[in-house]
A = this chain, B = another copy of it.
Amino acid sequence: MLDLPPLQATARDDAVLNVLADFVIHEELKPGDRLPTERVLSERLKVSRTTVREALTRWEGLGLVERRQGSGTYLKAAVSRDMLHLPLTFASGNDFESLMHTLEIRRGLEAEAAALCALRAGPAEVEIIRQKLEVMEEAFHSRAGMSSDEDWDFHQAIYRVSGNPLFEQIISAMHELFHRFWEHPLGVRDFGHASFPYHRTVYERIAAGDAEGARGEALKLIATVEADLRRGDANLKRAGYK
């Protein structure tokens, strides 16, 4: 049977988002750009400001847009007409177990990204990654410890070169949550110290085009982080903080 019902019920807020997506595309707005005022949109679209706000609230919830009172509404991510939304919500349980769970997810993704990266990286891409690696290594030696920012840059370069934008999106989202809830994970200083040498071995396998080797080194890298965290957790428990 032909599916007839999609007739225009009361779904104006949805329509607003479609029109707004068209607008963003037509105006070639990029992340960081400001989009029209709620009042302007309301007038131009001939709908109430309430409806515009409901629509923008949806986009805000999806992380597509950021609202700043007194300033405006800003684009936060690229918008296209055919977007898939995959809202995951799970109980965090601010505990150690949950942290391990997110790390296991990251391990699977990190390993796959490294493998794909090894397959698809050309000389130019290898050079980019090498540069990030050296910046990270220099930061490590000069400050005698892992540097979150430079470390993250290195990993992101791998996700980008993997040729699959989903890796960066998913892991970045997790990374953001990670830092929001465990700002200083379990009080572990030199967090990830032991993982340092594996950054270079991962790079070497990628440069050699060795997918399975890169996957293996990436797995080892995350494993050392996991071990670090477990040790930190055990210390906390022994100290009676838990």
Q: Could you list which residues of chain A lie within 8 angstroms of chain B, going by C-beta atoms? A: 10, 50, 53-54, 57-58, 60-64, 69, 77-78, 80, 82-94, 101-102, 104-105, 107-113, 116, 162, 164-167, 169-170, 173-174, 177, 181
Tell me the smallest distance from the CB of A89 to a CB of chain B, in Å.
Answer: 5
Question: Which residues in B have their C-beta under 8 angstroms from that of A164?
Answer: 101, 104-105
Which of A58, A90, A110, A167: most chain B CB closer than 10 A?
A90
What copy number does this chain have within its complex? Answer: 2
B86, B90, B91, B107: the one contacting A177 at CB < 8 Å is B86
CA distance A29 to B87 in the complex (A): 21
Q: Is B80 a contact of A84 with CB atoms below 8 Å?
A: no
Please name the residue on chain B nearest to A111 by beta carbon: B108
Q: Is A88 a contact of B58 with CB atoms below 8 Å?
A: no
CA distance A102 to B86 in the complex (A): 12
CA distance A19 to B170 in the complex (A): 29
CA distance A1 to B83 in the complex (A): 40
Q: Is B108 a contact of A104 with CB atoms below 8 Å?
A: no
Tell me the smallest distance from the CB of A238 to a CB of chain B, in Å.
Answer: 24
B10, B54, B80, B87: the one contacting A57 at CB < 8 Å is B54
Q: Is A87 a contact of B112 with CB atoms below 8 Å?
A: no
8 further contact pairs, Cβ within 8 A, besides A57-B61, A62-B87: A82-B91, A85-B89, A87-B173, A104-B116, A104-B164, A105-B166, A105-B170, A108-B108
CA distance A3 to B149 in the complex (A): 25
Question: Which residues in B have their C-beta under 8 angstroms from that of A109?
Answer: 105, 108-109
B61, B111, B173: the one contacting A58 at CB < 8 Å is B61
Can you list 26 contacts pairing A with B, beta carbon distance less than 8 Å?
A10-B69, A50-B50, A54-B54, A58-B61, A62-B87, A63-B87, A63-B89, A64-B89, A82-B94, A84-B89, A85-B88, A86-B88, A86-B170, A87-B87, A87-B88, A88-B88, A90-B165, A90-B169, A102-B166, A104-B112, A105-B112, A105-B166, A105-B167, A107-B112, A109-B109, A111-B112
